[in-house]
Structure 1
Amino acid sequence: MQNEEDRNIELISRYLAGQLPRAEAEEFRQRLKDPSFQQEVELQRELAEAVGRREASRLKALLQAEEAAIEEEPAPVARRPGARRRRFIGLAAAAALLLLAAAFWFLGREPAPADLYASYFEPRRNTLVIVQRAEGEESLVQQAFRLYENEEYEEALEAFAALPDTASNDDVTFYRANALMAVGRTGEAIPILQEVIRNGESQYLDSAKWYLALAHVDKAQYAAARPLLEGLRGSPFLGKKAEALLRERAFR
């Protein structure tokens, strides 16, 4: 029976290989909030890349040694001069295939959309200060944002849904979209974020573009995400994140 450490290693390995189904990928995203687990993921990622580099170096050294041995080996009189060279070419072809396979697996694998999304998505921290009623009673808006701040996203969504139309504004719309993304409902968040962006004067304009781009990434809609990310290059707060995401293999 596997212990927790072994289960974590297997889970992270499947994540790095892009083999997690959507339900497990969502659970994995939630676990990434734990700094110790996030550190373990990065450690395994670095280890996998190091193994790939080491295997590439080892294969290269073996190939060079074999080439030197072939060059020093005296050719029998009965053997045609090209026999040794053909032997080397066959070995070189096999080693090249192994080298390409190792490089693809460890260094060049394109992450699954859900994995790429999980590595960049983090719900927006609640920065709003909702004034409490004088009599001390918590309003529906306060309740919704309190639940959001406590990372109780499913409950926060229920509270947002219970708000009357008169309470709807950019704050509610934007944070509701974030809550949807936090529980894996990125498809529902897309039109909501588009609504925020259509309001060109929204204080959440850049943030809405960032989260909309991530939602498109989760759906493997890279062509839709690219212009949003390119438009954020000059953003003082999101420019570096946008640049990093655009450097991922999915956008090359």
Structure 2
Amino acid sequence: MDKNELIQKYFEKSLSPEEAAMFENLLADKEFADEVAFQKKIKKVITHEERATLKDKLRTFENQKTSTDKWWYAAASVFVLLGTAIWFMGQKPDYDTLYASYYETYPNVIAPVVRNNNDTITDTEKAFAYYEKQDYNKALEIFQTIIRTSPQEEYAQFYSAISYMELAKFSEASKILSGTNWSKKYADDAIWYLALLELKTDNPDASRKFLLEASKTSRYQKESLELLKKLD
């Protein structure tokens, strides 16, 4: 069984006796134990935020109502909030909507750096000119040419993946994002976009795995924790 699936079942309290024994044995592995501890921390943060939100709502009700109806109004509100929460827990998240809410086209941060002062237009400049015009097919053609002639140009790989995502060619994007040994410059971005890609293609378990990784970074921590909360 996949380790992430085992951890998920642990938190859902649905481990079989055999799986529970496997889980206990894996805790001897520091990397596995650290991952379990990290996910526990995330769940505590999410639970704390939910409780804080409920307390804030009740505090607002207290300030707004008179002394004679405060208690009844607050009690009714608690039942409504709990009922709503239970109803939402039983609903499958709308992955397309979540994807659209969090996906943003990665900005062009390359062409201004390599732009020169003569009349020669480089392939890089051509590619990003199309990219910024949202002509992703033509941009992709040039990015692929750059990859063939200069495979060390990592930006061409990354922006090819983003272009594929813009064209809804998610399989091709996934091959690049998951199959490239990214440098530190693009590693965090690749994990974040992989999380979104898995969400778009209805693979929430895989998306959670990448979101957990992305939540350990400073750049995507806030968004990753928000999405993890919405997927639970």
- Fold equivalence (TM over 0.5): yes
Q: How has the CA–CA distance of structure 1 residues 134 and 125 changed in structure 2, closer, same or farther, with 3 Å as cutoff? A: closer
The structure having more radius of gyration, on CA atoms, is: 1
CA shift at 1:134, angstroms?
A: 5.7
SS of the aligned residue for 1:163 comes to helix
Correspondence 1:175 to 2:151: no
- 2:147, 2:156 within 8 Å by CA — same for their partners in 1? no
Correspondence 1:166 to 2:146: no
CA shift at 1:108, angstroms?
A: 6.5
- 2:215, 2:225 within 8 Å by CA — same for their partners in 1? yes
Percent identity reads 28
SS of the aligned residue for 1:203 comes to helix
> Paired residue for 1:208?
190
> Paired residue for 2:21?
none
SS of the aligned residue for 2:161 comes to helix
- 1:187, 1:215 within 8 Å by CA — same for their partners in 2? no
Question: Which whole-Å CA distance do the structure 2 matches of 1:242 and 1:134 have between them?
Answer: 41
Scaled by the length of structure 1, the TM-score of the pair is: 0.52
- 2:143, 2:160 within 8 Å by CA — same for their partners in 1? yes
Correspondence 1:246 to 2:222: no
Question: Which whole-Å CA distance do the structure 2 matches of 1:134 and 1:154 have between them?
Answer: 27
1:1-252 pair list within 5 angstroms: 104=87, 109-128=91-110, 129-132=112-115, 135-163=118-146, 165-168=148-151, 169-196=153-180, 198-199=181-182, 201-248=183-230, 250=231, 252=232
Question: Which whole-Å CA distance do the structure 2 matches of 1:136 and 1:202 have between them?
Answer: 33
Question: Which whole-Å CA distance do the structure 1 matches of 2:147 and 2:161 have between them?
Answer: 17
> What count of residue pairs does the alignment treat as equivalent?
151
Once the two structures are superposed, residues 224-252 of structure 1 have per-residue CA deviations (whole angstroms, 9 ceiling, x without a partner) of 1212111222322110011011011x3x2
Scaled by the length of structure 2, the TM-score of the pair is: 0.56
What RMSD in Å do the two structures reach over aligned CA positions? 2.9
Unaligned runs of 5+ in 1: 1-63, 65-99
